[in-house]
Amino acid sequence: MVSQSPGSSAGQPGSGPLVVLDNVNKYFGDLHVLQDINLSVARGEVVVIIGPSGSGKSTLCRAINRLEPITSGTISIDGVPLPAEGKALAQLRSDVGMVFQSFNLFAHKTVLQNVTMGPVKVRKMRKAEAEELAMGLLERVGVANQANKLPAQLSGGQQQRVAIARALAMKPKVMLFDEPTSALDPEMINEVLDVMVALAQEGMTMIVVTHEMGFARRAGDRVVFMDSGSIVEEADPDEFFTNPRTDRAKDFLSKILTND
Amino acid sequence: MDLFFDNAPTLWSGFRVTLQLTAVSGLLALALGLALAALRVAPLRPLRAVSMLYVELMRNTPLTLVFFGMVLVAPQFGIIPPLGFWTAVLCLTLYTSAFVSEALRSGINSVGVGQAEAARAIGLTFGQSLRLVILPQAVRTVIPPLINVIIALAKNTSVAAGFAVVELVATGRRLGQAIPGEAVTILGGIALLYLVFTIPAGLLATRLEKKVAFAR
Ligand SMILES: Nc1ncnc2c1ncn2[C@@H]1O[C@H](COP(=O)(O)OP(=O)(O)O)[C@@H](O)[C@H]1O
Ligand SMILES: [Mg+2]
């Protein structure tokens, strides 16, 4: 639990933890997908969420920008509780970058337009300025030479890097990644992970659902292990992978290790 | 057949009313149908429910009943609809908008849910997501069914005949009554005039459908 006592820094933007989940529960019908989740992510922290399929990782990730409304509890970003549906929520979402497993680039827009849409339509930036920003970001993720192509003309790895650039164009406070490499051919995984590691090193606050242990060890500050809708174990990445404390984590790790 | 040609001017003016009814009601139904479709996918459940209720009600009500309701029942509740042409426009718009909404909704659903999520995730509002991301992608799949809705509308204008709007079928009926024995010829002529409009529209819909299929 995070203290919410008067006079504490929580509740004021610019200080305190960036993302706070307090006693969050989520049901899909009778299915209790998130069970009493408490999680606090500090500024600049990289949290890796790991766990078996169906354990609620995606739902947790999507709850943080309210793509999935929760049943009870509170979620705050930079001290501000998630607003209900409407303009304020849209504004808050613009501060939370999200990268999906299936990229979800706007299929009818060029790579460049994908990246400029948010700055122009949400931040009301001038088009020329947005394009300059976008080209810089595309450069940074290594796909500047594809700027005028449609997403379908790019490889999966390239598309995912564009998706990261699109999210970064909003200058988000925190980035959410939901299995960003699990739809990719193996030879493309590293080009995406490299971009993410660089981002982590630059101090971006990140919440990453992934089974990529290499990434977790290189860039992760903390591993959160989920099973059946609950957080079962939290640990330093090296500690977690070499010396898991709970049986469920041990069991899970033995499975993903033998699968590789 | 001579008879048909002798009365061509009268039939032609009926045809013009049919076209006007189709054009005016069609445009209004597109606007109302778009609003209904937007409500139908809105993030608030009550809005979705209102739209669904309206669409299901209209889709499952015969058009004649809509006309009866407007002309005979509405005045009893103090609602006096304008008579003639605009009554027909009102009824046809209310009725057709439900079908427009369904066509648009199926188009919106054909755009992957990930597109809408990505749009919302960068901070676009619901309206912006719809306008900038969803509808531009839905348009391709939506045009052929929309043309079919407009063809149905063109044929449905004949219902207005019973309600004092002088369009093609009404004209034909009056001519048929005035010149008994030639009703079949006249009805045949009317059918032809309809086909002049609906067959090209149908062909256009089929061609667009093929084009869309290729573009995928
Ligand atoms: N929209 C939904 N409706 C109903 N059940 C869902 C929905 N989304 C996810 N679930 C269920 O919630 C559970 C958690 O799903 P998810 O968060 O996607 O898990 P993970 O990402 O860890 O694989 C699963 O049992 C899944 O079947
Ligand atoms: Mg998942």
Using a pLDDT cut of 70, give the percent of chain B over it. 63
Three-class secondary structure assignment of B144-185: HHHHHHHHHHHHHHHHHHHHCCCCHHHHHHHHHHHCCCCHHH
CA of A33 to the centre of ligand 1 (A): 7
Structure tokens at B58: 């209209």
Which pLDDT score is estimated for A7?
A: 37
Amino acid found at A129:
E
Which pLDDT score is estimated for B79?
A: 62
- Residue B82: which H helix or E strand, with range? none
Residue A60 pLDDT more than 50? Answer: yes
Q: How buried is residue A72: exposed, middle or buried, by Cβ count under 10 Å (0-12/13-18/19+)?
A: exposed
DSSP state of A117: H
Q: How far is B201 from chain A (nearest CA, A)?
A: 27
Distance separating alpha carbons of residues B57 and B179, to the nearest angstrom: 40
pTM for this predicted structure: 0.82
DSSP state of A154: S
Distance separating alpha carbons of residues A150 and A107, to the nearest angstrom: 7
Residue-wise pLDDT for B76-101, tens only, equals 666 665 557 787 888 899 999 999 99
For the ranges A130-139, A230-239, B65-74, the lowest mean pLDDT is seen at B65-74
Q: Let me know: does B144 contact B212? Beta carbons within 8 Å.
A: yes
- Residue A80: which H helix or E strand, with range? strand A80-81
Q: Let me know: does A232 contact A246? Beta carbons within 8 Å.
A: yes
In ligand 1, the atom with minimum distance to the C-alpha of A68 is 1
Q: Let me know: does A177 contact A206? Beta carbons within 8 Å.
A: yes
Structure tokens at B70: 């407007």
Point out the residue among A87, A93, A121 whose CB comes nearest to the CB of B120: A93
CB-defined site of ligand 1, < 6 Å: A 28, 31, 33, 51, 53-59
Instruction: List the residue whose alpha carbon is closest to atom 21 of ligand 1.
Output: A58
Which pLDDT score is estimated for B50?
A: 95
**What's the ipTM?**
0.90
**A224: Cβ contacts below 8 Å, ≥ 6 apart:** A39, A47, A48, A49, A50, A231, A233, A234
Residue A6 pLDDT more than 50? Answer: no
Structure tokens at B161: 């005949």
**pLDDT classification of A8: cutoffs 50, 70, 90:** very low
Q: Catalogue all structural domains in chain B, each as residue range(s) with its CATH number.
A: 2-215 (1.10.3720.10)
CA of A66 to the centre of ligand 1 (A): 15
Q: Let me know: does A53 contact A252? Beta carbons within 8 Å.
A: no
Residue-wise pLDDT for B69-79, tens only, equals 776 666 666 66
Mutant choice from A85, A116, A162 vs B, greatest count of B C-beta within 10 A: A85
Q: What is the CA A31 to chain-centroid distance, rounded?
A: 24
As beta bridge partners, residue A22 has A74
Residue A125 pLDDT more than 50? Answer: yes
Longest dimension (CA), chain A: 55
Sign, CA torsion A83/A106/B129/B48: negative
Q: Which of residues B209 and B66 earns the better pLDDT score?
A: B66
Instruction: List the residue whose alpha carbon is closest to atom 16 of ligand 1.
Output: A56
Nearest-ligand number for the alpha carbon of A55: 1
Strand A19-28 and strand A31-41: the pairing is antiparallel
